């Protein structure tokens, strides 16, 4: 059995990790760290895990705790994972970090967008960006996995094939994204109170959201050059889910026309047709967050708007599963040579 440690299990992404790992046939939760809740059973904080997961929070010295772990998940605020990583830690465990500490290769970009000093720039070069469908050949041998963000996972997976194939002009790419409130974390914030969120939808982080450089960096690799995108997130009154609708100008073919929807779908089949966790929807069907809730699936729909000469690209996923904990488990499976879907085969929840 793979022995997993989790730091940050009091938050939504961390608790989702515990839920998924508790049902994993080849893994078990061996340690969860918390200073403020030392000795408290996990299920007392998350009652859904009563008589499912009996582990309690521990305040053990980290180096001692890692003696009982094969992999460490850090579902923590930015800066924490970088502050603890060192050679001794990586001799004991594989690190899967759910924060942004190792996602962006350029330390100056990280420090600009996150407003903090990076504590471990020497490890950025070896960290692998853990978007499994695009990097599985490098994940298996990695010591540090940078688990992608929720908005970024949906945005990158949705747009990657058309950027990679040069079908769209990536500099015209506009990404409109919407998230449920769990994406903001479990901490008490006035803006996330029920009366503030219910019966409302709002844009936030306009032109400043921290996932922007992550999207740009990964899609720049696909384009083979540096690109800039417009990314605007919105908060909607639901618990879970990310919905992305992206727009970009289609490049004309040699006959002066733009590709039609069936041609675009063919490109997505080329890239994702054999992927377990990406579902390419039939022509005319649009992704909905309710059809991916609680699952590790990403649903993608595509439409060529021949009138405007643009592609309309749509994607949906559960921000706590494929957008966080599920993808982290998927990365763990790859690290330890397990079938990628192990422990992640549950169908989406509805209603």
Active site residues: 150
* CA dist., res. 258 & res. 84, Å (int): 51
- Residue 154 sits at φ, ψ, to 5 deg, of -70, -40
* CA dist., res. 282 & res. 275, Å (int): 16
Element housing 234 (H / E): strand 230-235
What tokens appear for 93 in the block? 């465990």
Element housing 248 (H / E): strand 242-249
DSSP 284-325: TPPP-GGGTTTSS-EEEEEEEETTTTEEEEEEEE-TTIIIII
Q: Are 96 and 4 in contact (CB under 8 A)?
A: no
């Amino acid at each position: 059995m793979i022995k997993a440690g989790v730091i940050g299990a009091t938050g939504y992404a961390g608790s989702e990790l515990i839920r998924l790992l508790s049902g994993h046939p080849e893994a078990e939760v061996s340690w969860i760290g918390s200073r403020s809740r030392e000795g408290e059973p996990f299920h007392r904080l998350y009652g859904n895990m009563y008589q499912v997961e009996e582990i309690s929070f521990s305040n053990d010295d980290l180096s001692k705790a890692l003696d009982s772990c094969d992999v460490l998940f850090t579902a923590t605020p930015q800066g924490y994972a970088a502050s603890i990583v060192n050679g001794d830690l990586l001799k004991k465990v594989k690190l899967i970090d759910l924060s942004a500490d190792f996602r962006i290769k350029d330390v100056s970009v990280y420090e600009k967008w996150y407003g903090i000093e990076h504590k471990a720039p020497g490890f950025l070069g070896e960290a692998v960006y853990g978007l499994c469908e695009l990097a599985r050949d490098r994940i298996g041998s990695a010591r540090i996995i940078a688990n992608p963000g929720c908005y970024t996972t949906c945005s990158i997976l949705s747009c990657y094939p058309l950027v990679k194939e040069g079908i769209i002009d990536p500099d015209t790419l506009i990404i409109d994204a919407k998230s449920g409130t769990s994406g903001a974390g479990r901490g008490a914030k006035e803006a996330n109170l029920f009366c503030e969120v219910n019966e409302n939808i709002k844009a936030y982080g306009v032109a400043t959201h921290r996932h922007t450089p992550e999207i740009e960096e990964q899609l720049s690799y696909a384009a083979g050059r540096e690109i800039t995108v417009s990314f605007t997130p919105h908060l909607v009154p639901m618990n879970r889910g990310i919905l992305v609708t992206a727009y970009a100008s289609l490049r004309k073919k040699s006959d002066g026309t733009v590709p039609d929807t069936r041609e675009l779908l063919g490109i997505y089949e080329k890239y994702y047709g054999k992927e377990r966790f990406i579902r390419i929807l039939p022509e005319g069907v649009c992704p909905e967050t309710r059809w991916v809730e609680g699952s590790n699936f990403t649903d993608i729909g595509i439409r060529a708007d021949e009138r405007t000469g643009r592609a309309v690209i749509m994607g949906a996923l559960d921000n706590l599963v494929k957008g966080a904990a599920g993808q982290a488990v998927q990365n763990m499976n790859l690290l330890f040579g397990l079938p990628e879907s192990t422990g992640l085969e549950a169908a989406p929840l509805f209603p």
